Structure 1
């Protein structure tokens, strides 16, 4: 849905900018504009003195202009934030060999990968989410390790067991992963 909205919005904005920019360039190079066009010729300004000062007796005009511009800036910032956020992958395309393929829910693969990683020796807690595209998913794994576990061993077991199992079960050619390791908080042990 977001991808469709992005493409439509970018296409519309691009079309408007190309048409308006091309028309302004054509008028600036000496083409005669139509009667309804905002510029009369190459030496015309965007807002004349009369247009800038003509609304002084209407106190609502400039606050309305600033409110609309503020709203446009806020919408642009919201759109930027929405597009920069990493979204979860909702489905993964599984190659079934018949050319049609099957769709696997992303949450299901996340759950299996999380449960498999949590069963590894010395892992106190695991969390996984998938990003990327449905034919090329990427796993983001966070592991909380027990204090006695060597991080290199935990990472080796994760990559050779859990990730390989998830990749093979979804019939993926590759499953790149970013792994964050952290140790579980624990109280200091007393030595007597």
Structure 2
């Protein structure tokens, strides 16, 4: 979601800047003279006497500031799980790096029959149950039901037991590779 918001904001900013630049280069009003101003005195004071004008301006600016703060905080939020707390039985526990568990889960998922490529992302917090987001790109002749069942019973189960987790919920997205159509002879 955040990547989409970032791309939309970047695209809108680029379009606005491009439009203003083209208008300025073309010499269209209000950019058509050296001594001209962007807003005349009459245009600046047109809405001053309207009772709804200043509350609207303040409300819109407040909304823009709130959206900017939300966006900045969303940039700082971690998307990946940095560490998983593994219970060792001594009361202390051990820390397992999230990327190491992701790499092991990715390697095991890619070793499954019918899987061309796998991407794994662990989300959550260290002290809570992590969640796995798995993206699989299947080969042309793969059987999705069999592949999904093997992923659940083998790769995810091995990751869950090796990390000492009670459960490891996962969201799996399957996609097929593009390939040329086969001809029947």
Which band: TM-score by shorter chain?
A: 0.5 to 0.7
Task: Kindly provide the CA deviation profile for residues 64-100 of structure 1, in whole angstroms up to 9, marking residues without a partner as x.
Answer: x89x8577335323246447x7711010000011000
Task: Kindly provide the CA deviation profile for residues 22-51 of structure 1, in whole angstroms up to 9, marking residues without a partner as x.
Answer: xxxxxxxxxxxxxxxxxxxxxxxxxxxxxx
Name 2:100's counterpart in structure 1.
108
Q: Does 1:76 align with 2:76?
A: no
Name 1:143's counterpart in structure 2.
136
Alignment of 1:11-160 (within 5 A): 69=62, 72-79=65-72, 81-82=74-75, 87-135=79-127, 136-160=129-153
The SS at the match of 1:155 is: helix
Number of equivalent positions: 132
Runs of 4+ in 1 over 6 A off after TM superposition: none
Change (3 A) 1:183 1:86: farther
The SS at the match of 1:185 is: coil
The SS at the match of 1:72 is: helix
Q: CA RMSD in A?
A: 2.9
Name 1:187's counterpart in structure 2.
180
The SS at the match of 1:112 is: helix
* Uncovered stretches (5+) of structure 1, i.e. residues with no partner: 1-64
2:163 to 166, 170, 181: 170
* TM-score, reference length from structure 2: 0.62
* TM-score, reference length from structure 1: 0.60
Larger radius of gyration: 1
Rounded Cα–Cα distance in structure 2 between residues aligned with 1:153 and 1:134: 32
